[in-house]
Each structure stands twice: as structure tokens, then as C-alpha cells.
Amino acid sequence: MSQDYSVQNDLNPNNTTSKVKKKRLTWTLSLGGAFYTGSSFALYDAWYKDYPSSGFHLYDDLGEWRGVDKAGHIFSGYFQSEWAYKTWRWAGMDDKHAIWTGAATAFLAQTTIEVMDGFSTEWGFSLGDFGANLVGIGGFAWQQAAWGEQRLRMKTSSTAIDYQDRYGDDLYQLRADELYGTGFFTRYLKDYNAQTTWISTNINSFFPDAGFPKWLNVAVGYGANNMFGGYTNQVPLLDNSLDRHKRYSQFYISLDVDLSKIDVDSPILRTILDVVNVLKMPFSTIEINTLGEVKFYAIRF
């Protein structure tokens, strides 16, 4: 049975539960505001400060990066909604209001990024990104309202840890370093060749009498590889005729673990598991790609 976080309907000012909820709400608003401000500055420093700014403008990027960036926006809107929802529940909101406030919180965070894009000469306010954000936010809110749980989880994984010398060609490696950075953190955020976005489905939630472990999920993922430009690899010095550097899409199927289904007594451990639960757990994986290849990985992150 889930913990009851609903606000007590009690007018007694000495009620201990009421005081705890007020303190939690104060902490949530204060720390949330500080985190929003700090993360916005950090994002600007990591992504925007080295590019010129301009007046606010729109930018059509629906065909860029083979859709990997749009999948990432769906994932971001989803997990931010869930984390915000759980925070508002902890602060004392009832379930219905926490769903909508969590969605609004994620909308604010994601729209801030889009507005930054809108003032950057390099990019612009993308209606495609904005729509993908709404899909992720709406996906969380709808499931929570309809089912009271997340049966279809958005997750992510990345192979950015092996970014050095992964292309076997100095010119392509230099181009990747220019586009995606050379440190793990920036590479994790920016390297579309390394990112996979997953929909992880909890089997037990749909088939409770089938006898599957309640934490076991089946996950399908999408990614792409050999992208050295938004639309094509036809940039100076790069020879796109090289077979090993042709752009292609990747589709995956694997198993996964829903850490929210693992019962723990410690609130700290529960929080850690909820944070880690945005990551696809490593399992054996099958890849089918648009080069016509089928690959099997004993373990894939």
C-alpha cells in the first residue's frame, strides 16, 4: 500500500502533521527555486555561452539527428514530471493536485530551455522540441491519473563513457569532439550517437496473474549512430562515402528492472532507487538497424 501524503483537513494550528507538511512545502519551494535557478545558469554555461545570441525566433528542426533529440525531449519531460510529482506529494499535496503541479513544474523547466534556444543564433525555439516535451509530460500525467502508477516508463542509456577513439578515424573523431565535447558530462548530454531512449513496460502491471516478478520489464529502445551533422554528414573534410560512417537508426529490445517495484523500508534508499530508475538497466539486448543488420549484445548499457 502506498504511503498517504494527502494534506490533512485539520484547522487545529497545533496539529503536528499539519506543521510537518508546511515545513516540507516551504523546503520544497525554497530548494526547488534554488535548483531551478542554479540548473538554468549551469545549462547556459555548458550549452549556450559560447554561441552568439539574437532576437527571439523559431527554428524548424524536425528532421535533425534522426529524431534522437526528440526522443530525448520526451524522456526529459517524462522524468521531470515524475520527480516533481513525487516531491509535491512528499510536501503534502493530494494526488490529483500533485499530478498537475508536477506537470506544470516540468513544463516550466523544459520551456525555459526552449526559450534559451529561441534567443540563440545557433538554434531557435523549436515547436518540435516543445511538442516532444508535452508528449513526455502528458505521458506521465495520463498514466498517473488513469492507473495510479507508471506501467510504461521512459528511460535512457548512453555509451558516452567510451567516446574516445570510438570512430577509428581522426577526422571523424575531431568532428565528434567539436560537436559533442570531450568530457564525459558534456558527452552524456550532447552525444546523440551514444544516446538510447527506451519505453520500459512492466509485465506484472498488465498481466498480474502470469507469475512474472513484479519488477521485471520489457524495454524497446531507439537510437542512431554515425551522425556528424544535424541532417547529413556532408561537412568539410568528412568523406560520407565511408561505409563505417553512414548514418543509420537503431531499434532495440531488451529486459529491464523497474526499481519502483522493489520494496524498501528506508526513505533514503527509496529516493536513491527512484533517481536511478530513469536509467535502463544493463541486460542482453538485440539491435535491428537500418543498415539491415541484426546484432546481439551479451550486456548493453
Cell digits for 172?
Answer: 571523424
Return d(Cα 159, Cα 20) in angstroms, integer. Answer: 43
Side-chain-side CA neighbours of 213 within 13 Å: the count stands at 13
Whether pTM > 0.85 for this model: the answer is: yes
Q: Please tell me the predicted confidence (pLDDT) of residue 239.
A: 73
pLDDT in tens, 118-148: 998 888 899 999 999 999 999 999 999 999 9
Return d(Cα 296, Cα 158) in angstroms, integer. Answer: 17
User: What's the Rg (C-alpha) of the chain?
Assistant: 21
Letter for the amino acid at 148? G
Q: Please tell me the predicted confidence (pLDDT) of residue 11.
A: 35
- Per-domain boundaries in the chain: 16-148, 151-301
- The segments of the chain whose pLDDT lies below 70 read 1-20, 162-165, 168, 242-243
pLDDT in tens, 285-298: 999 999 999 999 99
